[in-house]
Amino acid sequence: MKIKQLVTLAVVALTLFSVQAFESNDDLKARIQPVGSVHIAGAAAAGAAASGPRSGEDIYKGACAACHTSGVLGAPKTQNAGDWGPRLAEKGKKGVWRNAIKGINAMPPMGACGNCSEDDIMAAIDFMTEGVE
Ligand code: HEC
């Protein structure tokens, strides 16, 4: 009887101890987490800052090349005078820029670039029309 009680006590004590150990482990994780994510966010921001502003070519490669390299859906091909000349003559650089921002026919607004500013769009157009104007 006494031994059984002791064993029961020991089991209960062990169980409590391990549950506690578990909880404090979770606690620790919870306390570490915010510090970890702040650190990661900081690193990402530092990375972005270190890479500096993107060039028109970078923006073009990331957001516009898929259509404008091969001329998919009638997209004016990059640095192709025959494709760009008439558009620039008719609308000017500002005109095609405005159309790129708001979208035109199969050309999605902003070239569907989620992280491009209007200046980025102009930089990409500068690259696409290099040597054409
Ligand atoms: C999904 C394919 C697609 C992507 C991606 C795309 N374009 Fe286009 N773009 C087109 C097509 C198609 C046209 C021709 C539209 C027309 O005039 O019918 C076009 C036309 C244009 C024009 C000429 C507009 C005019 O008024 O003549 C500009 C400028 C332009 N795109 C800029 C961009 C830039 C900058 C990017 C990247 C940020 C981009 N495009 C990404 C398909 C695309």
Place of tokens 């490669």: 61
Task: State the Cα–Cα distance between residues 77 and 39, nearest whole angstrom.
Answer: 43
Count the residues in the chain.
Answer: 133
Question: To test the ligand 1 pocket, which listed residue (55, 57, 59, 67) has its Cβ within 8 A of the most ligand atoms?
Answer: 67
pLDDT of residue 2: 72
Q: Is residue 133 part of a domain?
A: no
- What residue ranges of the chain have pLDDT lower than 70? 1, 3, 6-52, 133
pLDDT of residue 53: 80
Phi (first) and psi of residue 5, to 5 degrees = -60, -40
- Identify the DSSP state of 70: T
**CA 82 to ligand 1 centroid distance, Å:** 15
116 and 79 within one domain = yes
Burial bucket for residue 68 (CB in 10 Å: 0-12, 13-18, 19+) = buried
Task: State the Cα–Cα distance between residues 47 and 104, nearest whole angstrom.
Answer: 34
Q: At 12, which amino acid appears?
A: V
Q: How many CB atoms lie within 10 A of CB 79?
A: 14
Cβ of 19 closer than 6 Å to ligand 1, yes or no, is no
119 and 86 within one domain = yes
Which domain does 79 fall in, by range?
Answer: 56-128
pTM of the complete model: 0.71
> Residue 96 CA: which ligand 1 atom is closest?
26
Cβ of 122 closer than 6 Å to ligand 1, yes or no, is no
pLDDT of residue 47: 40
